A = this chain, B = another copy of it.
Amino acid sequence: MSERRLQILDAAASLIAERGFTSTSVDDVIKGAKLSGKSHFYHYFKSKEELGYEVLNRQFERFAERGLAILREPMIDPLDRLSLFIDAVVALQAETGGRRGSPFGNLAAELADAHEGFRIRIEAVFERWASQIRSLLWEARPQLHDDVDAVRLSRFIIAALEGAVLMTRVKRDLTVLEGIAFDLKRFIAMHVRDGAVQSMRHAGQ
């Protein structure tokens, strides 16, 4: 991947996070990435739509590296990993001072009904995310109640986090996300067998 492409992708990601895809113009991206003009931009991307797709890809890769990766840490107890992952989401949101939402949730809300191409790609993002959590839950099953529904629980976790990030952005108050993260851990702890090896350790404040 060329340097310039990444520069464009980063500028576009930042602009889209701030104003949304529709309200980000190609000219804005050109200014943001300090390109010389339209021809320069269209030398790297064949359309605004394709740029959007690649921005989404890149955002997911970043999230996979900085967030989802925690779910796979082999040396940590699975349920502790889940707790650490939730902390990581909070930390990620804290980086922007509570502003900016989830790049996936934002695009979803903006384009899910209007643009099938984006809808499908965002659906895939959520599915990969949910699948990571399901694997972790499977791995943790000796510590969990027998009736835990991994599909349902993984969706619940994602929905709670996405909703929390959105509310945090609207209220401009990070404690909203922190409180929900705390409650989410309590909810997860509810699925843990009594007397199971210590878990959700991080839920205690």
Which residues of A line the B interface, CB within 8 A? 17-20, 22-23, 99-101, 105-106, 108-114, 119, 122-123, 126, 149, 151-153, 155-156, 158-164, 166-167, 169-171, 176, 179-180, 182-184, 186-187, 190
The interface residues of chain B lying within 8 Å CB-to-CB of A186 are 190
Interchain CB contact (< 8 A) of A169 among B22, B112, B153, B180: B112
CA distance A23 to B100 in the complex (A): 20
Q: Are A176 and B190 in contact (CB under 8 A)?
A: no
CB distance from A149 to the nearest CB of B (A): 8
Q: Given A151-B179, A159-B163, 19 other A-B contacts at CB below 8 A? A: A19-B113, A20-B20, A20-B110, A20-B111, A22-B23, A100-B113, A101-B109, A108-B170, A112-B166, A112-B170, A152-B179, A152-B182, A152-B183, A158-B163, A159-B164, A162-B162, A162-B166, A163-B163, A183-B187
CB distance from A157 to the nearest CB of B (A): 10
8 A-B pairs in the complex with CB atoms less than 8 angstroms apart: A20-B114, A105-B163, A106-B109, A122-B170, A152-B183, A159-B167, A160-B163, A162-B163
Interchain CB contact (< 8 A) of A163 among B113, B161, B169: B161
- A156 and B170 in contact (CB under 8 A), knowing A18-B114, A101-B109? no
CA distance A110 to B152 in the complex (A): 28
The interface residues of chain B lying within 8 Å CB-to-CB of A112 are 101, 166, 169-170
Interchain CB contact (< 8 A) of A156 among B101, B126, B160, B162: B160
Residue of B nearest to A184 (CB): B156
Residue of B nearest to A114 (CB): B19
CB distance from A44 to the nearest CB of B (A): 25
Interchain CB contact (< 8 A) of A114 among B23, B158, B161: B23
The interface residues of chain B lying within 8 Å CB-to-CB of A180 are 152, 155-156, 159
Q: Are A171 and B126 in contact (CB under 8 A)?
A: yes
Q: Are A123 and B187 in contact (CB under 8 A)?
A: no
